[in-house]
Structure 1
Amino acid sequence: MEGPIDEAVPAHVERALTEYLATRHSDMAEAAPSFGSAVASLAGFVLGGGKRLRPTFAWWGWRGCGGAGDGADARSVLRGVSALELIQACALVHDDLMDASAMRRGKPTVHVEFAERHREQGWLGEAERFGAAAAILLGDLALAWADDMFATSGLDAGRLAASLPPWQAMRSEMLAGQYLDVLTQARGDETEATALAVARLKTAAYTVERPLHLGAALAGAPAPVVAQLRAFGADIGLAFQLRDDLLGMYGDTEVTGKPAGDDLREGKRTLLMSLGMADPARAELLRAALGDDDLTPETLADVRQALVDSGAVAEVERRIDALTETALAALDRADLAAPADRVLADLAVAAGRRSS
């Protein structure tokens, strides 16, 4: 795509990903033809949707801390931060498998797609085991390719070295958050503190905070600016996840791409559910519905109403507003260059108000 990167960051990210994945698919198809079709499915998954939020936040972190909007450096940074979408792909593919989710972005999840492929071909063994194995391997491949794409983006050695702390922290925090998520479900932990810890590690850190940190590090930003950007990102990332929790319960499937109530069926102990279960009058209904694979539309409707009546929905909305306010205050203290200051403020508000 031609034109200034600032004017269409997601589109430029899409182009960078398309070019990179085409090259890797070609290489793999030649070296291991039987793996080529699997790699094509991964590429289709990566390019099949998404808001490209992580690269967008990283780009504006770079721009706000003095990075140029055009030129060879800018193109290298754009290619580098585009690799964040491959980390996201790893997280989604593995998360869907762990949660036994059937749909993602309105299409079958990767493990479901490959299980169906097994059945269609009449292969030996269990289709579900094959689907799970394929999803694990393709998620791992996405994570490996994220490192490869970043390392070969054209960034000089100094910038690559400066980017290592946020890049390494982001990967580790994402995996820690996923583990804490499944551990919380296994333990049946209903506490608000744990729900917030999962949200911060699993989503907030690698969706907003660390991408901003990465962009700032690539621009050589001073420690006080990095600290304010991270504070902004942590709060906006948490607001993003809280909105996601509400959409998971009340969103339109045609818009979100996932069945309403999926988090409930999967037994997710979100802040929304934690607050609802704190109400003794509704706790029994909510606990019984958590993890119910056979959840009926009627029970889902009862749960939705119980969360409203308990005040949980209103409290989550209040927290989204409060987080947005504190985030914007941190952004103001960061004193970023224009137009990044305005763009990030707009992104912060949009993160808490989105419908998908």
Structure 2
Amino acid sequence: MNNPDPNSPTGSSPAMDPAGVDRETAEREYIQAVDEAIADYLGRQRLVMLEISPEAMTLVDHIEALCSGGKRMRALLAYWGWQAAGGGPSAPEVVLAGAAIELFQSAALIHDDIIDHSDTRRGKPSVHRSFQAMHREEHWSLSGEEFGIMGGIVAGDLCLSFSEAVFASIGTPQAATGRARRIFDIMRTEVMAGQYLDGLSEVMGTEDPEEAIDRASTVIRYKSAKYSCEHPLTLGAALAGAGEPLLGQLSEFGLPLGEAFQLRDDVLGVFGEPHVTGKPAGDDLREGKRTVLVALAERTASAEQVAFLEERLGRPDLDEETVNKMRDIIRESGALDETERIIQTTQRQVQAALRKIDTSPGVAKALEDVASRALHRSS
């Protein structure tokens, strides 16, 4: 039954019992249910916007375009966290939780692309660049770039609001005042703090190499690792009523998984192939990202090489030749090999933690599969 409240998505979802079906089928049905919940909610919000002004509907259009992409890894982790805690097979609660997490992810991406001056996202124009293009196509007055930033900020804020509304619509005690609500709230706070620390590290410039590595590791943990893996897992489990022992086991698995996931992302941000990542080659270098990879490079590179990196990090006009030279410095310093060793060590921590999770063999295998997809990727 459809809920007439435009701020509440439908609570119906297809059956998603993994018992008797393979994990791929269970995941596919769950992702479809999450996609439908997002589409249903955004459709209702489009009607709200229409009542305000047809011109405001473009905000929802841009959010929907961004939400339609992605691998839904965070939602899947919430689903398997739910299953790990014995959550039922047909579960509108975890569908809505997955939708809320994915909307939050989209809000974070919209704002992150503005902060990083990113032109593309998943091979398409980033949201603020899409608004800028609309300004250009309509031949409007004043600055198209400023209009694009304004539109992106508003769309990101709106998407963040949508995420909260969808989570609140779950309606269970756990989602209202229990552990699940606390996890959802701290997740958002940590990401915002991590985003600020990331921006702060970019403007601080050169510092003691060990301090730079520690700072980059803190950014990884709070801007990405916790909300990408640890919190979705524990959120799903908390919704199903998990106690502290299981939540602790899932955290011990999810946090290193998230850290390794982000380290892999940092490597792809410098060495990834544009046709696979959907981002220009070396985009993190143009954005001035102070990643662990860069910090490790500056710890062991020569003074001349460090100066070369420092003079060029964060310059949006870097040409391919300069990007390739910066890549060579990072590679020759041993930073790429060291980052790969850190990822491998973290993978072993993930595997050891997985063996300690008190859940069924089927769920444990599903978590292992999700982890493998997160760690062995090219985009």
What is the TM-score with the length of structure 2 in the denominator? 0.89
Q: Which residue number corresponds to residue 20 of structure 2?
A: none
Q: Which residue number corresponds to residue 333 of structure 2?
A: 310
Q: Distance in 2 between matches of 1:24 and 1:211?
A: 25
Q: Distance in 2 between matches of 1:254 and 1:317?
A: 22
Query: For 2:370, which of 330, 342, 347 is the aligned residue?
Result: 347
Confirm or deny: 8 A CA contact 1:328 1:348 kept in the other structure: no
Query: Please, what is the CA RMSD of the aligned residues?
Result: 1.6
Confirm or deny: 8 A CA contact 1:96 1:109 kept in the other structure: yes
Query: For 2:356, which of 315, 333, 336 is the aligned residue?
Result: 333
Q: Distance in 2 between matches of 1:346 and 1:43?
A: 28
**Displacement of 1:328 after TM fit?**
2.0
What do residues 310-354 of structure 1 show as CA deviations (whole Å, max 9, x unaligned)? 111111111111111112212221222242211111222221211
Q: Give the alignment of 1:229-308 within 5 angstroms.
A: 229-281=250-302, 282-308=305-331
Q: Distance in 2 between matches of 1:206 and 1:275?
A: 24
Q: Which residue number corresponds to residue 4 of structure 1?
A: 16
Q: Distance in 2 between matches of 1:290 and 1:128?
A: 22
Aligned-partner residue type, residue 160 of structure 1: A
Confirm or deny: 8 A CA contact 2:184 2:231 kept in the other structure: yes
Q: Which residue number corresponds to residue 177 of structure 2?
A: 161
Confirm or deny: 8 A CA contact 1:10 1:51 kept in the other structure: no
Query: For 1:91, which of 108, 124, 136 is the aligned residue?
Result: 108
Confirm or deny: 8 A CA contact 2:73 2:370 kept in the other structure: no
Q: Distance in 2 between matches of 1:105 and 1:139?
A: 17
Confirm or deny: 8 A CA contact 2:263 2:339 kept in the other structure: yes
**Displacement of 1:75 after TM fit?**
2.0
Confirm or deny: 8 A CA contact 1:189 1:269 kept in the other structure: no
Aligned: 1:126 with 2:147? no
**Which deviates the most, 180-189 or 1-10?**
1-10
Q: Distance in 2 between matches of 1:158 and 1:4?
A: 21
Q: Which residue number corresponds to residue 219 of structure 1?
A: 240
**Which deviates the most, 217-226 or 334-343?**
334-343
- Structure 2 residues not aligned, in runs of 5+: 1-12, 18-25
Q: Which residue number corresponds to residue 80 of structure 2?
A: 60
Q: Which residue number corresponds to residue 23 of structure 2?
A: none
Confirm or deny: 8 A CA contact 1:66 1:337 kept in the other structure: no
Query: For 1:81, which of 82, 98, 113 is the aligned residue?
Result: 98
Q: Which residue number corresponds to residue 194 of structure 2?
A: 177
Q: Distance in 2 between matches of 1:78 and 1:89?
A: 17
What is the TM-score with the length of structure 1 in the denominator? 0.94
Q: Distance in 1 between matches of 2:27 and 2:262?
A: 26
Q: Distance in 2 between matches of 1:248 and 1:260?
A: 8
**Displacement of 1:305 after TM fit?**
1.8
Aligned-partner residue type, residue 245 of structure 1: D
How many corresponding residue pairs?
351
**Displacement of 1:158 after TM fit?**
4.2
Query: For 2:70, which of 50, 53, 56 is the aligned residue?
Result: 50
**Displacement of 1:234 after TM fit?**
0.8
Q: Which residue number corresponds to residue 34 of structure 1?
A: 55
**Displacement of 1:2 after TM fit?**
4.8
- Structure 1 residues not aligned, in runs of 5+: none
**4+ residue segments displaced more than 6 Å:** none
Aligned-partner residue type, residue 139 of structure 1: G
Question: Identity of counterpart residues, as a percentage?
Answer: 41
